[in-house]
Amino acid sequence: MDPLHTCIALSPLAIYSLLLGTINISKRPFLTTGGRDLAALGVAISGLIIAGPMELFLPERAVIILGPYAWLLPVGLFALCVTFLVLVRRPRLVIYNLDSKQLRPILAEVAFRLDEQVRWAGDGLILPNVGVQLHLDPFGIMRGVQLISSGPHQSYDGWQRLETALAADLRKVNVGFNPGAISQLVFAGGTLTALATWLVLRQQNLPHALEEMLRIGP
């Protein structure tokens, strides 16, 4: 693979890894919604999709008619697919840089403030008056937890209230060093450095590779 395609494929993934490493090496937890988390993952893999199957299956007829603007069709389709997945997924909150043991007492306090009839069942949590049912799902080897909705009947307003209250409490929490961040930062730094070096060394080949990719060559 030429340096242009490699850079397009791996740069978004490396930047995503750099972002996760920065989050995980900080002294604070980071809370985001499942929709934003999925959208960020979609951007991270977009380079692999563009440099791989998207270019491979780019319709030649569209290229003949639209030229390089034909790329707007598959890129737009990919963006619509990611947006669709974000919209149809059930509510979810993602907490980075905090394990389930540390999160549980904080979540319990927040949940009680929102609904005094809150109930725990193992790793499940029910807030009947808020319209939220969820369970805790820790990340494998990485330090983080997902709060995943349980069942189809959920109150989106209740989830927003939970997100706001939990984010306020998490801002007061200090966490210890997360060794998992080192591997993410090393991968990101090594990949970006290697890509930049390869682009500089092979810069004379970039115009031709770009013309081939955009189908604008002779």
Whether 140 has a pLDDT exceeding 70, the answer reads no
Query: Would you give the distance in Å from CA 10 to the centre of its chain?
Result: 15
119-121, strands of its sheet edge to edge: 30-33, 92-96, 144-149, 132-138, 124-127, 119-121
Strand 92-96 versus strand 132-138 pairing type: unpaired
CB contact set of 88 (below 8 Å; sequence gap of 6+) = none
Global model pTM greater than 0.75: yes
Whether 215 has a pLDDT exceeding 80, the answer reads no
Helix, strand, or coil here: 144? strand
- Domain ranges in the chain are 1-90+176-218, 98-174
pLDDT tens sequence across 79-109: 999 999 999 989 999 999 999 999 999 999 9
Query: What's the pLDDT score for residue 182?
Result: 93
Strand 124-127 versus strand 132-138 pairing type: antiparallel
Average pLDDT of the chain to the nearest whole number: 91
Euclidean distance between the first and the last CA atom of the chain, given in angstroms as a whole number: 21
Query: What's the pLDDT score for residue 174?
Result: 92
Unique residue bearing structure tokens 């979540």: 107
